[in-house]
Amino acid sequence: MTDAVLATRGLVAGYEPDLPIVRGVDLAVARGDFLVLLGPNGAGKSTLVKAITGLVSIHAGSVTLDGAEISTSPIHEKVRHGLAFVPQTENVFTTLSIEDNLRLAAQVLPRPGRAGRIAALYAMFPDLAARPRTRAGALSGGQRQMLAVARALVVEPRVLILDEPSAGLSPKVVTEVFARLAAINATGVTTILVEQNVRAALATAASRSGRAAILVEGRIAHEGPAATLADDPIVAELYLGARREPEPAA
């Protein structure tokens, strides 16, 4: 707990003041961890990560990044503190070129470091380096997702949060994206992954000895190592069974 890079305490958040969707979440993510957030539809996974990043208003509780309270700082300040977020949809600027998407994000960095950081990301994502002038709107789903991840990495974040990066991608591309996330995590970036694609996400987290947490009705119902959670009967019942649309456990 002392080594938690990101922690929430009693976090309550939602879109309407009298309608909290996240209802008291205590979460501590250790440095370098790979955490998968699971839960049925409407459990508040997306809202939780949006509240942490500042896109959804927090009603109560705290969010700390390396011990510093960040729940009240504006979104762009959180990015400067090393908290990067990849939204599920509309996660790149379609009217800007690949280059401009990255340069926009690099404006947070000190001027001398910007070009070098973008070059480093191009080296990491050769697909993007091949055509920096292309408008992001013209990219395929997988390429867009890569650009969104690259954009988030520009600031060399301490914590990278992704909201369902596999949504809408073909199985082959999903495998690619997850392999990439594991590689990024291996460089020391703490990773939080919200996913519906439970098997692949748990497998990826397990490969990094990561953990998983299950959110039900706005609270954390279950938490443990990703490798053992995959075999857990509760998880099996909720996600891995025959039922495609599980109801929240009563």
Partner 1 sequence: MSPQILVDGLIAGSMIGLGAIGVTLTYSILRFANFAHGDYLAWGAYFALALSGALGSLAGGALAAPIGPFSFGWSLPLAALAATALTAGLALLVDALLFGPLRRRGSSVIILVMASFGAALTLRSLLEFTFTSKPFYYTGELQIAVRFAGMRATPDQLLSLAVALVLVILVHLLLTRTAIGREMRAVAENPGLAGVAGVDVRRVVRTVWALGAVLACMAGVMAGLLIQIRPQMGLDLLLPLFAAAILGGIGSVPGAMLAGLIVGVGEAATVAVVGAQWRAAVAFVILVAILLLRPQGLFGRSDG
Within 82-101, the residues that bind partner 1 by CB under 8 A are 85, 87, 90-96, 100
Q: How far is the CB of 109 from partner 1 (least distance, A)?
A: 9
Q: How far is the CB of 104 from partner 1 (least distance, A)?
A: 5
Q: How far is the CB of 93 from partner 1 (least distance, A)?
A: 5
Position of tokens 């069974």? 241
Q: Does 117 bind partner 1 (CB under 8 A)?
A: no
Within 144-203, the residues that bind partner 1 by CB under 8 A are 151, 155
Closer residue to partner 1 in complex, CB, 105/216: 105
Closer residue to partner 1 in complex, CB, 93/223: 93
Q: How far is the CB of 136 from partner 1 (least distance, A)?
A: 10
Window contacting partner 1 (CB under 8 A); options: 2-10, 39-47, 75-83, 175-183: 75-83
Give Cβ neighbours of residue 61 (< 8 Å, ≥ 6 apart): 8, 9, 10, 11, 12, 13, 24, 25, 71
Closer residue to partner 1 in complex, CB, 24/132: 132
Give Cβ neighbours of residue 200 (< 8 Å, ≥ 6 apart): 166, 174, 175, 178
Strand-by-strand arrangement of the 211-216 sheet? 83-86, 159-163, 190-194, 34-38, 211-216, 219-225
For residue 194, which phi and psi values (nearest 5 degrees)? -90, 125
Q: Does 79 bind partner 1 (CB under 8 A)?
A: yes
Closer residue to partner 1 in complex, CB, 22/198: 22
Residues in contact with partner 1 by the rule CB under 8 A = 53-55, 74-76, 79-80, 85, 87, 90-96, 100, 103-105, 107-108, 151, 155
